[in-house]
Amino acid sequence: MTLPQTPSFHLLGKKALVAGASSGIGLACAVALAEAGAAVTLAARSIGKLDDAVAQMRAAGMIADAIPLDVADTDATAAAVAAAGPFDIMVNSAGLARHGPAAETTADDFDAVQALNLKGAYFLTQAVAKGLIAAGKPGSLINITSQMAHVGGVDRAVYCATKFGVEGFTKAMAIEWGPLGIRVNTICPTFIRTALTESTFQNPERLKWIEEKIKLGRVGEVTDIMGPVVYLASDASALMTGSSLMIDGGWTAD
């Protein structure tokens, strides 16, 4: 009898692009992929923060570099990805939220959020896939969406709309590119403690709502995303595509 072997979680020899990598979830994903052996390109609008992160990662023995990238600028994004790729792995953590009552949403708010969260995510994913297709390579493309891509939330109608949209195109792209070995999935976190979410946690009403919804009784930390992103990027998830990996503490189990 021959025992089965666990597929490798290692990413040695793989080249990864992480958008929105200057802080928070994006930075955590970049570090996780680099720790697993990938050569990681960190991308964001704030090149200063990226340079600091790259310096610290290199000092820790990781392979990393940085490029400036505004995912909402789809033409510039396509050009940058074509020049720096092809990438075996993509993680898109770039995102924007303008929360407020649905009855008060302005067209400007709607356009700004969808330009980054939906349109930007779509064409970034497309750009990385084009590079893989041209090179005849398989790959793993991951968009960070949200539990709000599956449920509604007060003051989050626009945000939910964009994240639901990403879930939709993920399934369609997975169907189209599956025969080419290109997998497309999403990671859907609950509320994660970052600099951008601190104002939400400081609102007693919102914090009570969050704590009641998360069955494990705590908000998320960026480290909660690091294992899942390595899983989706690696051969350990080789049969997983068109799927949503819920990292929500049981929020959507209701």
Residues noted as catalytic: 159
Nearest Cα neighbor of 228 from 25, 19, 41, 40 is: 25
Beta bridge partners of 17: 41, 90
